[in-house]
């Protein structure tokens, strides 16, 4: 099955590199879950704590410049990289990501400390299949 991404390889590589740089910084720590009853406010607060970080600004800006469809592709790519779906299930992974898309998708992507590795692993699996 051929998977065609709407995100250029150059943009994806830039996102992977920026995410690795941001999450590799010692003072960037995202807890596995937020405080009880706070929904996603904790994630936004942590991002606000790093708002002056140029790497975060670049990463967030690039993600926001992508449309909802491309953000959903990134979400689907991470789910393949995590092993939630196989490449042959791309259409299902993408549909689920599109169904789950919200204005908070960028924050979800930014606060996942493994996102760069998941994107890279997902991309590697897609390239192996084609």
Q: Which residues contact 121 (CB under 8 A, 6 or more apart)?
A: 80, 81, 82
Residue-level pLDDT at 52: 62
pLDDT of residue 105 exceeding 50: yes
- Which position has the token pair 């760069």? 116
Domain ranges of the chain: 9-129
Please state the pTM of the whole predicted model.
0.78
Q: How many contiguous H segments (helices) and E segments (strands) does the chain have? A: 7, 0
Q: Are 108 and 68 in contact (CB under 8 A)?
A: no
Indicate if the pLDDT at residue 29 is higher than 60.
no
Q: What is the pLDDT of residue 37?
A: 46
Dump pLDDT digits (tens) for 107-116.
889 888 899 9
């Amino acid at each position: 099955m051929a998977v065609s991404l709407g995100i250029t390889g150059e943009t994806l590589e830039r996102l992977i590199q920026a995410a690795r740089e941001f999450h590799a910084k010692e003072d960037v720590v995202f807890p596995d879950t937020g405080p009880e009853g706070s929904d996603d406010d904790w994630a936004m607060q942590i991002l606000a704590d790093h708002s002056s970080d140029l790497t975060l600004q670049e990463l967030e800006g690039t993600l926001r410049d992508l449309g909802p469809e491309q953000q959903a592709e990134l979400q689907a790519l991470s789910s393949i990289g995590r092993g939630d779906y196989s490449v042959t299930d791309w259409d299902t992974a993408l549909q689920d990501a599109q169904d789950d898309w919200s204005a908070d998708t960028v924050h979800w992507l930014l606060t996942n400390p493994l996102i760069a590795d998941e994107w890279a692993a997902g991309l590697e699996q897609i390239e192996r299949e084609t």
